[in-house]
Amino acid sequence: MPESIKRIARAVSSALLVPIMALIVAFALGAVVMTLFGDDPVAAYQGLYDGAFGSAKAWARTLLKTTPLILTGLAVAVAFKAGLFNIGAAGQFIIGTVCSVAVGIHFEGTPLLIHLPAALLAGIAGGMIWGAIPGLLKVYTGAHEVITTIMMNYIASLFAGWTVYAGGRQGQSPGPLWDPTARAISETPDVLTSAQLPLMGNPRLDLHLGIIIAPLAALLIWWLIYRTTFGFEVRTVGRNADAARYAGMYPRRTTVMAMALAGGLAGLAGAIETLGLNHKFAPEFGGSVGFEGITVALLAQTHPLGVVFAAFLLGSLEAGASRMQFESGVSADIIDVIQALVLIFVAAPLIIRSLWPGKRSSLAAGTKTQ
């Protein structure tokens, strides 16, 4: 018994070594960069902490920033489990947004218990389709998913722009979701109250139900990946598709399903952001959460529950950025620097492991867990 506990402890500490060290080194280097620019890193990090955790409002900000990152992080992590690199969370997110808005602004008079789930499901379905297309292209044509998901991102953002196009004087017709009362501005109307995610607690904090849905989704994905046949197939295909086929699995079907699942998660992220927070879509809402999902997934070592913590970490960085600028005058770009450093170190674990005063053997063992 103590032996097995020790083994689990060793496995956990080995898994956590890289992300934690990556964070420490990234923050230390961030401090060096600030010092070089004549800024005060202590004041900056104090401001960052205050902005993320200093008050109820700050906590709310952090949770709201974390929510979409959990889901886009899962979208990347799930694909990783199947041996796929999903760069398309950004596009799947946008499609999820557009689909949920399309349902959310129509069907007036529908009760919340039907309208809200329908809008959420529309977002998930849109994302699933957007994710499944690169999966299908991969298994039937061999097109690499990195290329196709990037291209699907462009298509998604142009399509989304078209849906809210405000029209022009030269006779072009406006997009189907455009809000005519916004006149020349390209945006949708607000989604109806019956499709908005209910707020919890103090309404000034904007804490919507989505902040609970996202961690639950992580739990569900963990169960799906580690406790079901489908998950076993995903992981097997991810390790070795040929072996999976010999074992009687269908790697093609699994690849498409994994990409659809990934897309559905990113689509849900878009739906939650829209139905919970923005209540409408405008082209400039695209944002970067889709790409930050990659950092989240890598920092979490693609573990679904790790994604929650990694998203929380990145979310708190995002939430604290304004306060940090306000308190210390340090440009918020330093947040991007720190995120990039974290990404470099988790993507290149050998750099971190070489900093760790361990045995060569543990170094080799550690890299194998990647």
Partner 1 sequence: MRYHNFSFALLTAFAVLQTTAQAEVKVGLVTDVGRVNDRSFNQSAWQGVTEACEQLGAEEGKDCKYIETRDAKDYADNIDQFIEAGFDVVVSVGFALGEATASAAAENPETFFIGVDQFQGAPLPNLAGLIFNEDRSGFLAGALAANLTESGTIASVLGTDLVPPVVAFGEGFIAGAKYIKPDINVITTYHPGEISQAFTDPEWGAATTKQAIDKGADVIFGAGGITGNGALQEVAANEGLFCIGVDTDQWLTLPAAHPCLVSSAMKLITPGVIDLIKTFSDGTMTSGNYFGGSALAPFHDFDDQVPAEVKTQLAEIKTGLEDGSIKTGYGQ
Going by the DSSP 8-state scheme, the letter that residue 193 receives in this structure is G
- In whole angstroms, the minimum distance from the beta carbon of 230 to partner 1 comes to 35
Going by the DSSP 8-state scheme, the letter that residue 178 receives in this structure is -
For residue 176, state whether it binds partner 1 (rule: CB under 8 A). Answer: no
- In whole angstroms, the minimum distance from the beta carbon of 238 to partner 1 comes to 33
240 φ, ψ to 5°? -160, 105
Going by the DSSP 8-state scheme, the letter that residue 191 receives in this structure is P
For residue 186, state whether it binds partner 1 (rule: CB under 8 A). Answer: yes
* Distant-in-sequence contacts of 232-237, Cβ < 8 A, 24+ apart: 234/78, 234/81, 234/82, 234/258, 235/81, 235/82, 237/82, 237/83
- In whole angstroms, the minimum distance from the beta carbon of 263 to partner 1 comes to 22
For residue 154, state whether it binds partner 1 (rule: CB under 8 A). Answer: no
For partner 1, give the closer residue by CB, 28 or 158. 158
d(CA 116, CA 302): 30
Contacts of 59 (CB under 8 A, 6+ apart): 52, 53
Of 111, 229, 284, 357, which one interacts with partner 1 (CB under 8 A)? 284
For partner 1, give the closer residue by CB, 129 or 332. 332
Query: Is 335 within 8 Å of 56 (Cβ atoms)?
Result: no
For residue 184, state whether it binds partner 1 (rule: CB under 8 A). Answer: yes
For residue 288, state whether it binds partner 1 (rule: CB under 8 A). Answer: yes
d(CA 173, CA 150): 29
For partner 1, give the closer residue by CB, 185 or 243. 185
- In whole angstroms, the minimum distance from the beta carbon of 28 to partner 1 comes to 23
Contacts of 151 (CB under 8 A, 6+ apart): none
* Distant-in-sequence contacts of 135-141, Cβ < 8 A, 24+ apart: 135/84, 135/255, 135/256, 135/257, 135/258, 135/259, 135/260, 136/256, 138/84, 138/255, 138/259, 139/251, 139/252, 139/255, 139/256
* Of the candidates 316, 313, 291, 299, the residue with the CA atom closest to the CA atom of residue 94: 291
Of 57, 106, 235, 245, which one interacts with partner 1 (CB under 8 A)? 57
- In whole angstroms, the minimum distance from the beta carbon of 167 to partner 1 comes to 7
Interface stretch with partner 1, choices 15-23, 35-43, 70-78, 162-170 (CB under 8 A): 162-170
Interface stretch with partner 1, choices 31-39, 93-101, 281-289, 343-351 (CB under 8 A): 281-289
For residue 180, state whether it binds partner 1 (rule: CB under 8 A). Answer: no
For residue 168, state whether it binds partner 1 (rule: CB under 8 A). Answer: yes
For partner 1, give the closer residue by CB, 162 or 250. 162
For residue 161, state whether it binds partner 1 (rule: CB under 8 A). Answer: yes
Q: How many residues bind partner 1 (CB under 8 A)?
A: 32
- The contact pattern for partner 1, residues 307-336, with x = CB under 8 A and - = no contact, is --------------xxx-xx--x-xxx-x-
Chain position carrying tokens 């005519």: 180
Residues lying near partner 1 in the complex (CB under 8 A): 51, 55, 57, 61, 161, 165-170, 172, 184-186, 277-278, 283-285, 287-288, 321-323, 325-326, 329, 331-333, 335
